[in-house]
Structure 1
Amino acid sequence: MITAHIGGKFVLVCTYETKGFLYNKKYWCRGDSRNTCEILVDSDGVTKNTRRAQIMDNGRRGLFVIVSDLQFDDAGVYWVGIDKIYADIMTKINVVITEVPVSKPRLWPSSSLVDRATCWGQPVTVRCGSTSGTAVRYAWYRNAQHDDVLLHHSSELLLHCGAVVEDGDYYCVASNDASSQRSDVLSVQVLMPTDSSCIYVINMQGQSIYDCADRMSTTTVKPPPPPTTCQTTVKIYSDTTNQSLQLNQTTHEDQFFSRTWTGMSFWYTLLRWGCFLTLLAYLCIFIKCTEAMQKRARRRRKVRFRQRHHLPH
């Protein structure tokens, strides 16, 4: 039996007794019965070549049958035969043609996730595709606690506020009659549900990671109502002045820390340049001092020389 993919080819290598059948005609024929099969190609070249099938007799190296550009209707029963008086020598071959196996599907968004459209609740389409495979079928699944849920049969998954009501993982399956492959997991994190402002984040392999921190800080969600206990109400009326002062102090402190962190890079740069200039100044002073010491040493040597030889100044 030979199993090959559609559009591909196969090479069949046969051996035989070259002493007795080297000069006999060899052939490749198709049919369920050895007596009624149709010869497609032979080694003498008398039978019309099908262009996709050929047979070559290389003697001791073997008998080669090559069939290319395979189609589904090429599947069936074939025979390799050696022409012989009274009864040919024949071997039965079953050929099975299958789809090309699918490769692992890849996921990519229709628009770049760097634009962070999901932070504003906008829909995003994620596509699934395999680089190899014939007659590929795609299906999207969502991970559940006990079993995975089939969403739909399609190569695209539309994520929007109505679909992502909670955190979840999604994946795509590419399959055909030959094989099946599963994609990497796509994770969706819901930061704010649909009834509020619909903010969610998509994380998938090969895409940049992003967040919606600025969107969360500027969302228009209503704050929770103030407490209504008697104790809290009394404090509000009795300490209004103190609370106002504390609020102002907190505001000033927040502004101070904000300015401090904002100017951190400026002071860090200034510190680096200050250290550099200080080292440069120390280096200049060291060089000047060294030169002055050398001059003094030369003067002392001159004075000692004159004193030894009684030379006038």
Structure 2
Amino acid sequence: MKMRILCLIFLFKATLQLSCDPAQITAHIGGEFTLRCKYDTKHFLFSKKYWCRGESHSTCEVLVDSEHRTQSRVTHRSHVVDARRGGLFVKVKHLQFDDSGVYWVGIDKIYADIMTSVKLVVTEVPVSKPRLWPLSSLAHRPTCWGEPVTVRCGCATGTAVHYAWYKKAEKKYEDVQLKNLSDLYLHCGTLDKNIKYYCTATNDISHQESGILSVQLLIPGHSSCAYVITMHDQPIYDCADRMTTTTQIPLLTTCQTLNITSDTGNQSFTSNQTYHGFFDWAWTSISFWYTLLRWCCFLSLLISLCIGIKCGR
């Protein structure tokens, strides 16, 4: 019991002499942190301070100190700054996963250093909300003519990100996972109805979902279809011109398709119409008389043949 009381008294006294906040630091890979500590400037104003790593304060390895005399493999990434009455600062940058562990902030003292522990946890960078965009422009509405489109899913921030595409289910059914890739390939053979898609971005510490990608199927078909894609930050379009291509349009003559506005052109256009009308009438008349002449010759030959047979009898 007495030993426990003595330990508590020792810890309380050590806290008054040196304390750091927070006692546990969580930082992202590639990032940095700055730890601020307060110490008893009346007794340790000119003492050496250091940053030490190890599970035990008695066996930890000193990485860097306030006098910049200690050399280690992480000296260039770790710094100890003694601001005297402004406090003690420990800064570590370019964090790596293997930096996670137990550290100690210490003050050099004869017989027994003053030390306090700090736990460091290095994690992945959280993913941001993924954005969707087509790899080819939708400005010319390629989907209206059945051309394939690839849509990519990507995050602005995040490390070790895993992407997956899902097809949104109707009502109470669960969404269907399609593939664990950042790209979704859309083409006529994969579309059989109106569908909504979205992608997810995930790493060890976070999960985010993208906005909805809507696909409206206008003309089904395995190789020739028409569909419209709707997504955030992309142009809105329809396929009205494609939908009217199945309507029959009467054929026009050359003269009817001319778009002439000048007076001279109008006179020429009228002359062409008159010429073609006269030519058509003349050709029709010749064809009629030629056909009549052929029939008359045929009947004359038939009558002559009958008379010859009768006279021979």
For Structure 1 versus Structure 2, the TM-score category normalised by the shorter chain is 0.5 to 0.7
Determine if the alignment matches structure 1 residue 154 to structure 2 residue 181.
Answer: yes
Number of matched pairs: 222
Counterpart position of 2:69: 46
Partners of 2:236 and 2:46 lie apart in 1 by 71
Counterpart position of 1:60: 85
The match for 2:216 among 189, 197, 201 is 189
Task: Tell me the CA shift for residue 85 of structure 1.
Answer: 2.2
- Taking structure 1 as the reference length, what is the TM-score of the superposition? 0.68
Counterpart position of 2:120: 95
**Does structure 1 retain, via aligned residues, the 8 Å contact 2:189–2:222?**
no
Partners of 1:190 and 1:127 lie apart in 2 by 20
Partners of 1:107 and 1:46 lie apart in 2 by 52
Secondary structure of 2:42's counterpart equals helix
Gaps of 5+ in 1: 224-250, 252-313
Task: Tell me the CA shift for residue 178 of structure 1.
Answer: 2.8
Deviations 1:44-101 (A, max 9, x none): 2221261100101111111000001111111111100111222211111111111112
Counterpart position of 1:30: 53
Counterpart position of 2:104: 79
1:277-296 aligned within 5 A: none
Partners of 1:196 and 1:54 lie apart in 2 by 64
Secondary structure of 2:188's counterpart equals coil
Distance 1:44 1:195, change over 3 A: closer
Task: Tell me the CA shift for residue 196 of structure 1.
Answer: 9.1
**Does structure 2 retain, via aligned residues, the 8 Å contact 1:28–1:41?**
yes
Secondary structure of 2:144's counterpart equals helix
**Does structure 2 retain, via aligned residues, the 8 Å contact 1:197–1:219?**
no
Partners of 1:22 and 1:215 lie apart in 2 by 82
Deviations 1:192-227 (A, max 9, x none): 22269421111111111111112112149xx9xxxx
1:195-234 aligned within 5 A: 197-219=224-246
Counterpart position of 1:19: 42
Deviations 1:126-178 (A, max 9, x none): 01111222122111111102221111011100011121211111111112123
Secondary structure of 1:115's counterpart equals coil
Secondary structure of 1:147's counterpart equals coil
Counterpart residue identity of residue 78, structure 1: Y
Q: Which runs of 4+ in 1 moved over 3 A?
A: none
**Does structure 1 retain, via aligned residues, the 8 Å contact 2:146–2:223?**
no
1:72-151 aligned within 5 A: 72-145=97-170, 146-151=173-178
Distance 1:34 1:195, change over 3 A: closer
**Does structure 1 retain, via aligned residues, the 8 Å contact 2:81–2:88?**
yes
Partners of 2:176 and 2:234 lie apart in 1 by 25
Gaps of 5+ in 2: 1-23, 251-313
Counterpart residue identity of residue 89, structure 2: F
- Fraction of identical pairs, as percent: 64
Counterpart residue identity of residue 149, structure 1: V
Secondary structure of 1:39's counterpart equals strand
Task: Tell me the CA shift for residue 115 of structure 1.
Answer: 1.5
Counterpart residue identity of residue 183, structure 2: E
- Taking structure 2 as the reference length, what is the TM-score of the superposition? 0.68
Deviations 1:16-70 (A, max 9, x none): 1111111221110101111110000111222126110010111111100000111
Counterpart residue identity of residue 57, structure 1: D
The match for 2:197 among 158, 163, 170 is 170
Task: Tell me the CA shift for residue 103 of structure 1.
Answer: 1.7
CA RMSD of aligned residues (A): 1.9
**Does structure 1 retain, via aligned residues, the 8 Å contact 2:188–2:224?**
no
Of the structure 1 ranges 127-136 and 30-39, higher mean CA displacement relative to structure 2 is found in 127-136
Secondary structure of 1:113's counterpart equals coil
Secondary structure of 2:34's counterpart equals strand
